[in-house]
Homo-oligomer: A and B are copies of this chain.
Amino acid sequence: MWTPSIRTRKRGRRRFGSLVKRMPEKNIDLHGSAPDKHKSALLLIDVINDLDFPKADQLLKYARPMARNLLRLKRRAQKAGVPVIYVNDNFGRWKSDFRRTVEHCARHGRARDVVKLLRPEESDYFVLKPKHSGFFSTTLETLLRYLETQTLILTGIAGNFCVLFTANDAYMRDFNLFVTSDCTVSNTKKENDSALSRS
């Protein structure tokens, strides 16, 4: 077997008189920070949400039962050691942070009860996203590589928008994907079904 890491150096030195520089053996800064390695990860997309947009009433009706289902799924994931990652819009609050967004939505938002049920816990990861896909302009991909995730379980709001955008981006990055129908909501059941059939 050819081990370039050794022979290149050795041969290089012998044959070409070269100085072969070697970078430190990987950057391990983040290894300590992502100890919960597991093949899967559970993503909760935009569940911390004040649903402050037109027609949110419809969505809210579906969101409550979804939150209960999702909490059960989260508990099972935690028991199994599956990392739980909140991937949430920053709602344009570039100067604020996630904890503050959670407090705001838990107190004032129209989806208070959803947010209270799904309030992030100390053991949860979170990633703030500025746009629809959880992969666009975020640390999600780097975090997932450190967690050595191969399979993503996608849940959240809205099935036909942010969940779908994230699913597409995950698909291009070759993750195995599950989208759970009873942990995903869209404005209408029809839109949700259509999105699920697409993703």
Closest B residue, CB atoms, query A5: B151
The majority secondary structure among interface residues of chain A is mixed
Q: A51 on the interface (CB 8 Å rule)?
A: no
- Residues on B with C-beta less than 8 A from A141 are 137
- Residues on B with C-beta less than 8 A from A174 are 26-27, 145
Interchain CB contact under 8 A, A128 and B139: yes
Interchain CB contact under 8 A, A176 and B128: no
Interchain CB contact under 8 A, B124 and A130: no
Interchain CB contact under 8 A, B23 and A177: yes
- Residues on B with C-beta less than 8 A from A20 are 178-181
Interchain CB contact under 8 A, A176 and B23: yes
- Residues on B with C-beta less than 8 A from A179 are 20-23
Q: Given that A19-B181, A128-B139, A139-B138 are known contacts, is A151 also in contact with B27, CB under 8 Å in the complex?
A: no
Q: A153 on the interface (CB 8 Å rule)?
A: yes
Q: A54 on the interface (CB 8 Å rule)?
A: no
Distance in angstroms between the alpha carbons of A32 and B174 in the assembled complex: 15
Interface positions of A from 1 to 45, Cβ below 8 Å from B: 2, 4-5, 8-9, 11-12, 15-23, 25-27, 29-34, 39-40
Interface positions of A from 67 to 101, Cβ below 8 Å from B: 69, 72-73, 76-77, 79-82, 90-95, 97-99
Given contacts A23-B167, A23-B178, A132-B172, 11 further A-B contacts (CB under 8 A): A4-B77, A4-B80, A16-B72, A19-B181, A20-B178, A30-B92, A30-B131, A95-B124, A97-B99, A131-B142, A194-B194
* A/B interface sample: 19 pairs, CB < 8 A: A5-B178, A8-B153, A16-B182, A20-B180, A22-B177, A22-B179, A23-B199, A25-B176, A29-B91, A33-B90, A33-B93, A33-B94, A34-B94, A94-B125, A94-B139, A131-B172, A136-B172, A165-B168, A168-B168
